[in-house]
Amino acid sequence: MGLFDRHAGIVEAYRDVRTTGADPFQIRMDRVLSPTEAIIDGRRTLLVGTNNYFGLTYDPACMEAAIEAIRAEGTGTTGSRIANGSYGQHVALEQEIAAFYGKKHCMVFTTGYQANLGVISTLVGQGDLLLIDADSHASIYDACKQTQAEVVRFKHNDPASLDARLRRLADRPGNRLVVLEGIYSMLGDSAPLKEFIDVCKKYGAYVLVDEAHSLGALGANGRGLAEEAGVLDDVHFVVGTFSKTLGAIGGYCVSNDPDFDVLRVVTRAYMFTASLPTSIVASVRAALKVVQARPELRTRLWDNVRTLYDGLAAQGFTLGPMPGPVVGVHLPDRATTIGFWRAMLDAGVYVNVAVPPATPNGVSLLRCSLSAAHTPEQLTHMIDVMTGIGRQMGVLPAGPRLKVVAQHG
Amino acid sequence: MNPAFGSHAADPKPGTRGLILRTAHNLAIDTATLAQVDAEQTSRGEVMAEIVRHLTPFNTSDVRITGATVISKDLSIDSLAIMDMMLDLEDSYDISIPLNVVAEIHTVDELADTILRLRAERQG
Ligand SMILES: Cc1ncc(COP(=O)(O)O)c(C=O)c1O
């Protein structure tokens, strides 16, 4: 048996995908023009699948900060902070993120994936219990493989399911850590955090919330779901990423735990990989300032959410359960989804394909993510494109529907 | 109004999505007093029947599901659907099957044995 034989099933599924003429998992952007446009296959294409929630990848202040940092401190750090030491910029960024959340400590990682992997797998160990939502991100599942703690899943966004599991485990010794997400990356729904926190308090469980997709988008100050739900004080660990709203790359974890900093010398995903270049750190610091100084970006993002979500719903598309910066459009099966995706690309609109096994409950989705940088015209155009394809493919009823006038409060 | 708060108003019952309808069987074992009775009566045959009931929708062949059926191979079920079925079985039998144990279960027999073992541990 060859090394690659175990992947035969995936290879086969992948071959199906590729028969559509373009491989959704290997899209090449010949040139990116702005947070919302790129040249793909020689065509100017509208991007609605980039997680660029505030459109900060081209923010002048962020770009200038990065360029200046490269001039001053070079292109890379060439090692981990444990081996090579920290730059002043790393430490300043950590202080600024901690202050943003009103927490005492912050650790910055090279990616959000590594932040989840490192923090979760290190916080719990032999004899502890790790409880995760069934629809958790891959980085959380991978952390489960790296820890000696016993891992138990509960039903997605279901506090009663968590309660039942904590109750069954009640007489077991060890710490309990519950991992939740601010906005789930595929369907765009949020955890009922207040209810989850009540359950966690009842059983003395620690809570970690991954705010990867909710930073900037949720909460009066953009701190995420924990702020919006008014429970930031009850969340022991917030994990997040710089790769979405902040328009760069990297991850972080904040906490008030007095011993938090010990993680720096026991977390392998922090210790054994190179630290972020200071250009990235400088752009992230600038982006965090933008998030705090320009709440109108959050307003604009949500205006765009309403436009797309209400617009697609009015045309009869089946969408994820709640409107948000991630809009999942349900389609009947994998083949329809990939065909639909391809037709959209041909019409100059790029979204993500999400098909099993990357999706919960085996659903097939076109995953759209919105940006404050999208114009209403771009989104209206996208709705028109999707409606046309939807009718053509028989996903939507053929005739035009009565226009539903959405009320905006 | 903060648009962020507005977003949640659209969801009538946050947290209820994904809950399966409770069957009479589930209700019975959710009740504390009955749980004891049910526990004592859990037989291998009943557990097998319950597993087969969960798996039947995924059986696309004419071959009957038996103890030797390899769940991920002989049935048209993906790994996520298997894990979701486990969640339902956990609730039916008031046990928790840890993720690393789930990874070791391949056949219907192994699943039944695991459920019976965890069930016995809970009582004992
Ligand atoms: C929920 C969630 N957590 C963590 C990550 C990882 O973030 P990063 O891209 O910074 O590695 C992602 C994005 O991929 C995500 O969707």
Instruction: Give the pLDDT of residue B79.
Output: 78
The overall average pLDDT reported for chain B is 73
Q: Where exactly are the structural domains of chain A?
A: 20-49+295-392, 59-293
Instruction: Give the pLDDT of residue A399.
Output: 65
Residue A170 pLDDT greater than 80, yes or no? yes
CA distance B105 to B93: 17
Instruction: Give the pLDDT of residue B41.
Output: 59
What letters, b where the CB count within 10 A reaches 16 and e where it falls short, cover A274-307? ebbbbbbbbbbbbbbebbeebeebbebbbbbbbb
Residue A300 touches partner B, C-beta closer than 8 Å: no
Query: Does any ligand 1 atom lie closer than 6 A to the CB of residue A185?
Result: yes
Residue B43 pLDDT greater than 60, yes or no? yes
Q: Is it true that the peptide bond before B57 is cis, omega within 30 degrees of 0?
A: no
The radius of gyration of chain B from alpha carbons, rounded to an integer in Å, stands at: 18
**In this prediction, what percent of chain A has a pLDDT beyond 90?**
86
Read off φ and ψ for residue A129, nearest 5 degrees: -120, 130
Averaged over A364-381, what is the pLDDT?
Answer: 97
Higher per-residue pLDDT: A119 or A362: A119
**In this prediction, what percent of chain A has a pLDDT beyond 70?**
96
Residue B49 pLDDT greater than 60, yes or no? yes
pLDDT band, very low/low/confident/very high, at B40 (cuts 50, 70, 90): low
3-state secondary structure A138-176: HHHHHHHHHCCCEEEEECCCCHHHHHHHHHHCCCCCCCE
Residue B89 pLDDT greater than 90, yes or no? yes
Contact call for B99 and A153, based on CB within 8 A: yes
Q: Which CATH superfamily is domain A20-49+295-392 in?
A: Aspartate Aminotransferase, domain 1 (3.90.1150.10)
CA distance A212 to A245: 8
The whole-angstrom distance between B44's CA and the closest CA on chain A is 21
Topology adopted by domain A59-293? Aspartate Aminotransferase; domain 2 (3.40.640)
Averaged over B33-41, what is the pLDDT?
Answer: 49
Contact call for B78 and A134, based on CB within 8 A: no
Residue A4 pLDDT greater than 80, yes or no? yes
In tens, the pLDDT along A294-348 reads 999 999 999 999 999 999 999 999 999 999 999 999 999 988 999 999 999 999 9
Residue A235 pLDDT greater than 80, yes or no? yes
Higher per-residue pLDDT: A111 or A363: A111
Residue B11 pLDDT greater than 60, yes or no? no
By C-alpha distance, the chain A residue nearest B118 is A168
Query: Does any ligand 1 atom lie closer than 6 A to the CB of residue A112?
Result: yes
Cα B92 to ligand 1 centre (Å): 34
Q: Residue A31 forms beta bridges with which residues? A: A39
Protein residue with its CA nearest to atom 14 in ligand 1: A113
What predicted TM-score, i.e. pTM, was given to this entire model? 0.88
CB-closest option in A134, A302, A321 to B3: A302
Instruction: Give the pLDDT of residue B123.
Output: 76
| Ligand 1: nearest atom to the Cα of A241 | 10
Instruction: Give the pLDDT of residue B38.
Output: 53
Query: Does any ligand 1 atom lie closer than 6 A to the CB of residue A135?
Result: no
Contact call for A298 and B3, based on CB within 8 A: yes
In tens, the pLDDT along A5-32 reads 888 877 877 777 776 666 777 888 999 9
Residue A55 pLDDT greater than 50, yes or no? yes
Instruction: Give the pLDDT of residue A400.
Output: 59
Contact call for A302 and B10, based on CB within 8 A: no
Please give the single-letter amino acid code of residue A107: M
Do A20-49+295-392 and A59-293 fold alike per CATH? no
Query: Does any ligand 1 atom lie closer than 6 A to the CB of residue A251?
Result: yes
Own/partner long-range contacts of A337-343 (Cβ < 8 Å, ≥24 apart): A337/A364, A337/A365, A337/A366, A338/A16, A338/A17, A338/A20, A338/A24, A339/A20, A339/A393, A340/A366, A340/A389, A340/A390, A340/A393, A340/A395, A341/A20, A341/A24, A341/A366, A342/A20, A342/A21, A342/A22, A342/A24, A343/A389, A343/A392, A343/A393
Residue A361 touches partner B, C-beta closer than 8 Å: yes
Vertex A229, ends A228 and A234: CA angle to 5°?
115
Averaged over A177-191, what is the pLDDT?
Answer: 95
